[in-house]
Amino acid sequence: MKILMINPNTSTEMTDRMIATAQSVLAPDTELIAHTATRGFPYIASRAEAMIAGNITLEMLAEHHHGCDAAVIAAFGDPSLIAARELFEIPITAMAEAAILTSCMLGERFAMLTFSRTLVAWYEDAVALAGLTHRCAAIRVPDVSFKSVSTVQYELENEIVALAERTVKEDGADVLILAGAPLAGLAQRIAHRSPVPLVDPLVAAVSQAQTLARMKPKAASAGRFARPGPKVTVGLPQSLADWIEHRGPDRQSDLTLNASM
Amino acid sequence: MKILMINPNTSTEMTDRMIATAQSVLAPDTELIAHTATRGFPYIASRAEAMIAGNITLEMLAEHHHGCDAAVIAAFGDPSLIAARELFEIPITAMAEAAILTSCMLGERFAMLTFSRTLVAWYEDAVALAGLTHRCAAIRVPDVSFKSVSTVQYELENEIVALAERTVKEDGADVLILAGAPLAGLAQRIAHRSPVPLVDPLVAAVSQAQTLARMKPKAASAGRFARPGPKVTVGLPQSLADWIEHRGPDRQSDLTLNASM
Amino acid sequence: MKILMINPNTSTEMTDRMIATAQSVLAPDTELIAHTATRGFPYIASRAEAMIAGNITLEMLAEHHHGCDAAVIAAFGDPSLIAARELFEIPITAMAEAAILTSCMLGERFAMLTFSRTLVAWYEDAVALAGLTHRCAAIRVPDVSFKSVSTVQYELENEIVALAERTVKEDGADVLILAGAPLAGLAQRIAHRSPVPLVDPLVAAVSQAQTLARMKPKAASAGRFARPGPKVTVGLPQSLADWIEHRGPDRQSDLTLNASM
Amino acid sequence: MKILMINPNTSTEMTDRMIATAQSVLAPDTELIAHTATRGFPYIASRAEAMIAGNITLEMLAEHHHGCDAAVIAAFGDPSLIAARELFEIPITAMAEAAILTSCMLGERFAMLTFSRTLVAWYEDAVALAGLTHRCAAIRVPDVSFKSVSTVQYELENEIVALAERTVKEDGADVLILAGAPLAGLAQRIAHRSPVPLVDPLVAAVSQAQTLARMKPKAASAGRFARPGPKVTVGLPQSLADWIEHRGPDRQSDLTLNASM
Amino acid sequence: MKILMINPNTSTEMTDRMIATAQSVLAPDTELIAHTATRGFPYIASRAEAMIAGNITLEMLAEHHHGCDAAVIAAFGDPSLIAARELFEIPITAMAEAAILTSCMLGERFAMLTFSRTLVAWYEDAVALAGLTHRCAAIRVPDVSFKSVSTVQYELENEIVALAERTVKEDGADVLILAGAPLAGLAQRIAHRSPVPLVDPLVAAVSQAQTLARMKPKAASAGRFARPGPKVTVGLPQSLADWIEHRGPDRQSDLTLNASM
Amino acid sequence: MKILMINPNTSTEMTDRMIATAQSVLAPDTELIAHTATRGFPYIASRAEAMIAGNITLEMLAEHHHGCDAAVIAAFGDPSLIAARELFEIPITAMAEAAILTSCMLGERFAMLTFSRTLVAWYEDAVALAGLTHRCAAIRVPDVSFKSVSTVQYELENEIVALAERTVKEDGADVLILAGAPLAGLAQRIAHRSPVPLVDPLVAAVSQAQTLARMKPKAASAGRFARPGPKVTVGLPQSLADWIEHRGPDRQSDLTLNASM
């Protein structure tokens, strides 16, 4: 099966690391196809940035999803996840949601460990979106700064291990999510130093994308996630406009566009 | 005081109607400045469209908010409300949130009446965002179709009056929100035919923008809504990039941009 | 428009201070009419006292609400708010509810800062009544005592500023409510020393009363807040009995009183 | 043990019926002492009336609770229950709360059957106060009118039996509360016609008062229900003023009254 | 009336102590009949053990409940409470649920004090089962170890008294439950040293069993707790198989067993 | 990898069908090992039966889990899921939980369709255990009876298809779970007749067991799911007693058993 991985950040280095991290859970018959954003932010770190990058995510999906069996939005915080599920017909997973739901099979309360205070409001929203705030024991951040998101998982490795210990003890977490794309791969490296299972969100998102792809769920023709009919757009990027206006690859359409609803 | 009204739809006819509707609650010292989107959709009707239009909202706010005392996002469903509050420093209201909170002073449970099933998931999200799902008695839609969003409030007037009656009786609503920008102005016209108070979301949003502007709340320098520091952007529209990179009107900046966080 | 302000405490000094505080948000066309309780307690400080003062609030409203466009119950904790909305037909706001709902447009989680532990249970109830316990980050009190409710806002000014800082940091509050009538006016004085917006509940209640009055909501004839029909009373104060028995100013009534329901 | 029963309605006929209904669950060593309100309403039927009657309840408790082991507020809707627990030191139960908590041991979801739509908002509040809204399957009312609260339990007997059947089937109730003082005694009469257990709230309240009295819980000296210190009152009824000002039966006090807190 | 007390632990010493503790709340006409498990664990301390002991509880109830008016499952954590209520027709109480519901009449928020961290997850489940997590201020454990469950209530007496004080102050508890069968009897001994009422769960469970027995609730013939029809079993203990297959004491049955549903 | 599938029902026919259904999602490197209960019930259909079968599940896991990478409890309702996760160290999934969590990636609200009213209370508990009651749109059952659990999925096929349509329309479900082991395999057969994706719980449980096994989560040494220390048991089946007492395959142990905690 083909899994499309969309990195809505502009850092290709991050994409490379995520591809590497995903290998451990790829089934033999899985092909992973990755794309990196060319507009936006090197690293999304707020809800305003996620709104902007979410738009870019939709454009990237419109362009690249054809022929894929499932897609992964490879940013924790899940920019455009709901919008993408509305628009597209293949299963779509994202890092925060996949990590949260997977954690729920490994413990009763999960906690998130991340590397910057700035991210917490955004990650809180992701927990709320899943409707699982009551199972989230805490979202915690080490009290130290770091130099770069590229190296943060090495810089803070010991602090995160120490924080894991405290979070289990003080907050009653049964499982820990290492939250944020820059931490992809860390879980595997420090699992043996943690008192509870660690969940790598990229691993969870790619795993769950494979799970859904293998189940071959029928695209909804009703409910909240049925694809909307063809609709007029003004000034949108070509591939996104084509998809929303239900134009095929030949950019022609016999359909009557709906100007309002 | 100056209130900025952003219509994230591309319909200027809708903007005009909203300006007219707002007059009844403008204080003598209020100036209302309205702008209409030039990209996007004639009328936003889903969460995917709200994601795209939300982006455009941020661009419009970046361009027009200077010198205003408060801003109104004039779409029910509140595209980019949280992102806008994160980025900008003036008070910002939006139609769904303002209608919901205002309703809570007029009754215990509010209901929403709107004109298309398509809108319901989006409006449910707005209720959830306010954290008031438990006070929402219902979101109901008449079982009839309509020709155009421009005239829907006239086409469905009698159906909405009948639905108001039933929603009070069957769902236990104490107050009704006429939801969706195309219904702006309807509440005033049919108030005498409703058993409970009606809330016009545009009226609520403009009223609450004035309320907040008059209270002159200090912009947050901490918490979830403190303005982020200057940050590198790639390929964003000029006015939005300027604001995010903390550049003044002269497009120069002495600040060191943060490439990642 | 005419806004009636009911102070259910017996302190006229407090009423005076509240009148002064309200000035900053009165629109040019607003007249504020204030009344002070003549029975009850100098300062209500518990739920039992609020029950007693709530009764007195109803009597005061029955006597003074004629000809007013909206009323404000000027005590944080909102004695008789629901009962008053049931009985009377003009919009009614109260300090806690108005502060809470207004805060929800300025941040995601609000906290309350007040001056005595005794008040906390009562204020918790007000948050629960609004259905917004999950958006309340904390209700905190400085660990110092004070001499008098008349001067407490001066006595504890520095402690409250320090507590504001800690509440934002430790509890994740985005906006702070300075809770309790004796703190009316303090927000304006210390706003510049707070990292997040401060909400003055008296200011919020008077602002929202104006907002509602300007919207001219129709009185409910159905739902939880429709005025009950005329009903027999035994031994109640004259003005309240008159209103409940639906007697006009001439104290005559043609209506058949309902002895039981 | 001595159980004090306060009827906050002015109907002595209702008091008599409640005394008769309580007999079936009185332990041999229990003495039941009943008092009827002399001011207020023949029958409380709304939250505004409950606010007024709640005040009268406090006065009656102040006058009669001395020497009793527990008290019952004999009105469904529980006027002044929280205030009474704050002020007084003996255990206090009330009809709605006792019925709700008792029901939770007989089924997973309870429903309430009552006789007038008017009562529903008030009873909803009682469920919310217990924090058990999620275990309340429904509050239902037969679609027929009645002549008098004195005879309503006979007038609507068959309708209530039919409604019981439907509520179990349609709402998933496991246990039914026959709500409202005018229904006291009905449960016993129709139990054999119901598919699930019926709870008589007066029986529940008297039973639970005995339960608490037998457990002899220490009065709280801390927490939300510690008795407040002596406090100045203005113009309150003598017995209530005496109790709040901590004056003994001789109406003398050595204590310094607190004018504000 | 006859109250059956089932101790699902194998310790007869514990049974004896519980019988002794129950005396203080037995009505003159109550006979308490106690049985101790002969299989399982000396003392259940986890959810896995409660699952195993819950099974044994069902077997003991099947064997001993005939002729009793109500039964008490005498383990905090309430093994098999729901299953027992499904299978049997007499009222059944259990220690955690009874303590929690009783506490709700003595304060707004209860807390649990117990003696081992191991127990906390199990007790959390009991609070969740009652649907009252939001009224549970805390579940706390002294930071000291103990030698034996037989003597733990004496070993930790002072630590629990100190913890009571802290839990009231730090967690806002209004009433404290001394949780776990090994603490039966302790509440009575230390009540005078606690700032808030203490609830002994065994006392509560026996009290509530008497309350329910005196109310004589009809067994449900519909809803979640109607006794299932006769059903085929394979290899179950005789008394439990007999009850499930609806065989009388003569072990004969005319009924057609249902092989599947 | 080796996945152990435990069928806690005694029907081997059901086990065979579940093995067949699982094939479509087994990865090439997965070996599925299935065991069927030899005691208990042909088909578990209530919470009392799930309590009994849950015990048998623990015994079967104790006997068969050695050498497996993950286990599946193959009954919807998830008997002993929490207890099993406490006792054993490999990842364990179960049908209801896996179906619920998987559904959350395919829609916002899921509904369950099943074949007997009897099952509903049990399935409600499973939703509550996942903490996702608010995302469950409905649990619905066709209004027709059936002859046998072996053939029910064929007997009710058309009724379930019709109910799917109604549940999407009337309850707002975005995804449907065909709940109950007797429906295993049905989803695949009727997917093309449903307006929204269908989830087969057995498929979900086996898929998620593979997902977890591939992630190789470290067994917890702290938190709610750390394996308890060795503990004395009385009269339990050998394999379960061995595991709880930490005896190896040679049935010898050097460990000191804990008699109480």
| Chain E residues within 8 A of D204 when measuring between CB atoms | 215
In this model, does residue B257 exceed pLDDT 90?
A: no
Which residue does chain E place closest to D129, by CA atoms?
E108
Q: How far is D179 from chain E (nearest CA, A)?
A: 16
Contact F46 E228 (CB under 8 A): yes
| Chain C residues within 8 A of D42 when measuring between CB atoms | 232, 234, 259-260
| Chain C residues within 8 A of B217 when measuring between CB atoms | 106, 175, 191, 197-199
Average pLDDT over residues B19-23: 98
The shortest CB-CB distance from F107 to any of A28, A200, A224 is to A224
| Chain F residues within 8 A of A200 when measuring between CB atoms | 215
From residue B49, give the alpha-carbon distance in Å to each of A244, B6, B55, B237, C98: 9, 16, 10, 19, 33
Do chains E and F meet with 3 or more Cβ pairs nearer than 8 Å?
Answer: yes
Contact E260 F42 (CB under 8 A): yes
| Chain A residues within 8 A of B235 when measuring between CB atoms | 38-40
Contact E203 D215 (CB under 8 A): yes
pLDDT of residue F213: 97
Instruction: Give Cα F172 distance to the centre of its chain.
Output: 26
Distance (Å, rounded) from C-alpha D102 to C-alpha D204? 7
pLDDT band at B261 (very low <50, low <70, confident <90, very high): low
In this model, does residue C248 exceed pLDDT 80?
A: no
pLDDT band at E146 (very low <50, low <70, confident <90, very high): very high
Residue type, F182: P
Q: Where are the alpha helices (DSSP H) in C105-259?
A: 120-130, 152-155, 157-171, 186-190, 201-215, 238-244
Kindly report the CATH number that applies to the domain delimited by D2-215: 3.40.50.12500
Q: Could you give phi then psi for residue C174, rounded to 5 degrees?
A: -100, -15
Contact D118 C84 (CB under 8 A): no
Residue of B109, B178, B215 best to disrupt the C interface, most CBs of C under 10 A: B215
Task: Give pLDDT tens digits for F92-147.
Answer: 999 999 999 999 999 999 999 999 999 999 999 999 999 999 999 999 999 999 99
In this model, does residue B253 exceed pLDDT 70?
A: no
Residue B256 has a CB neighbour count (10 Å cut-off) of 8
Average pLDDT over residues C7-23: 97
Given a contact cutoff of 8 angstroms between Cβ atoms, the answer to whether B10 and A259 are in contact is: no
pLDDT of residue D258: 72
Instruction: Give Cα D117 distance to the centre of its chain.
Output: 19
| Residue burial C88-101, b: 16+ Cβ < 10 Å; e: rest | bebbbbbbbbbbbb
| Chain C residues within 8 A of B134 when measuring between CB atoms | 131
Average pLDDT over residues C105-120: 97
| Chain F residues within 8 A of A169 when measuring between CB atoms | 222
Given a contact cutoff of 8 angstroms between Cβ atoms, the answer to whether B203 and C215 are in contact is: yes
Contact F220 A192 (CB under 8 A): no
The shortest CB-CB distance from E260 to any of F84, F149, F234 is to F149
The ipTM (two decimal places) reads: 0.96
In this model, does residue F170 exceed pLDDT 70?
A: yes
pLDDT of residue C75: 97
The shortest CB-CB distance from C58 to any of D51, D80, D259 is to D51
In this model, does residue E164 exceed pLDDT 60?
A: yes
Task: Give pLDDT tens digits for F41-90.
Answer: 999 999 999 999 999 999 999 999 999 999 999 999 999 999 999 999 99
Q: How many CA atoms lie within 13 A of A235 on its CB side?
A: 12
| Chain E residues within 8 A of D168 when measuring between CB atoms | 222-223
Residue type, B140: R
Residue of A89, A105, A136, A216 best to disrupt the F interface, most CBs of F under 10 A: A105
Which residue, among C18, C150, C13, has the nearest Cα to D260 in the 3D structure? C150
Q: How far is E225 from chain F (nearest CA, A)?
A: 9
Averaged pLDDT of chain D: 95
Contact A208 F204 (CB under 8 A): no
Contact D46 C235 (CB under 8 A): no
The shortest CB-CB distance from E225 to any of D24, D174, D217 is to D174
| Chain A residues within 8 A of F197 when measuring between CB atoms | 217-220
In this model, does residue F252 exceed pLDDT 80?
A: no
| Chain D residues within 8 A of C78 when measuring between CB atoms | none
| Chain B residues within 8 A of C1 when measuring between CB atoms | none
E strand intervals along chain A: 2-7, 31-36, 70-73, 92-94, 110-113, 136-140, 175-178, 198-199
| Chain C residues within 8 A of D47 when measuring between CB atoms | 82-83, 86
Given a contact cutoff of 8 angstroms between Cβ atoms, the answer to whether A172 and A137 are in contact is: yes
Give burial (CB, 10 Å; 0-12/13-18/19+) of A121.
buried
Contact F40 E234 (CB under 8 A): yes
What dihedral angle (degrees, nearest 10) is formed by the CA atoms of A50, A55, A58, A60? -90
Averaged pLDDT of chain F: 95
- With left for phi above 0 and alpha for psi between -120 and 50, is residue F89 left, alpha or beta? alpha
Return the bridge partners of B234, or none.
A40
Task: Give pLDDT tens digits for B144-197.
Answer: 999 999 999 999 999 999 999 999 999 999 999 999 999 999 999 999 999 999
Which residue does chain F place closest to A210, by CA atoms?
F211
Give burial (CB, 10 Å; 0-12/13-18/19+) of F27.
middle
Average pLDDT over residues C150-163: 97
pLDDT band at F258 (very low <50, low <70, confident <90, very high): confident
Which residue does chain E place closest to F14, by CA atoms?
E260
Do chains E and D meet with 3 or more Cβ pairs nearer than 8 Å?
Answer: yes
Residue D32 has a CB neighbour count (10 Å cut-off) of 18
Contact B192 C218 (CB under 8 A): yes
pLDDT of residue F255: 60
Q: How many CA atoms lie within 13 A of D41 on its CB side?
A: 28
The shortest CB-CB distance from D224 to any of E108, E134, E204 is to E108
Sheet of C70-73, strands arranged across: C31-36, C2-7, C70-73, C92-94
pLDDT of residue A258: 72
Which residue does chain B place closest to A42, by CA atoms?
B260
> What DSSP designation does F258 have?
B
In this model, does residue F254 exceed pLDDT 60?
A: no
Q: How many CB pairs under 8 A join A and F?
A: 170
pLDDT band at D248 (very low <50, low <70, confident <90, very high): confident
Q: How far is E3 from chain F (nearest CA, A)?
A: 22
pLDDT band at E248 (very low <50, low <70, confident <90, very high): confident
Contact F233 E45 (CB under 8 A): no
pLDDT band at B258 (very low <50, low <70, confident <90, very high): confident
Q: Please, which residues have CB within 8 angstroms of residue B31's CB and are 6 or more apart in sequence?
A: B1, B2, B3
Do chains D and A meet with 3 or more Cβ pairs nearer than 8 Å?
Answer: no
Contact B39 A261 (CB under 8 A): no
Task: Give pLDDT tens digits for E66-86.
Answer: 999 999 999 999 999 999 999
Task: Give pLDDT tens digits for E202-228.
Answer: 999 999 999 999 999 999 999 999 999
Q: Please, which residues have CB within 8 angstroms of residue D169's CB and are 6 or more apart in sequence?
A: E222
* Contact residues of F toward E, CB < 8 A: 10, 38-43, 45-52, 54-55, 58, 80, 82-84, 86-87, 116, 118, 121, 125, 148-149, 224, 228, 231-236, 240, 244, 259-261
Residue of D46, D257, D260 best to disrupt the C interface, most CBs of C under 10 A: D260
Task: Give pLDDT tens digits for F22-46.
Answer: 999 999 999 999 999 999 999 999 9
| Chain C residues within 8 A of B224 when measuring between CB atoms | 107-109, 172, 174
pLDDT of residue E260: 65
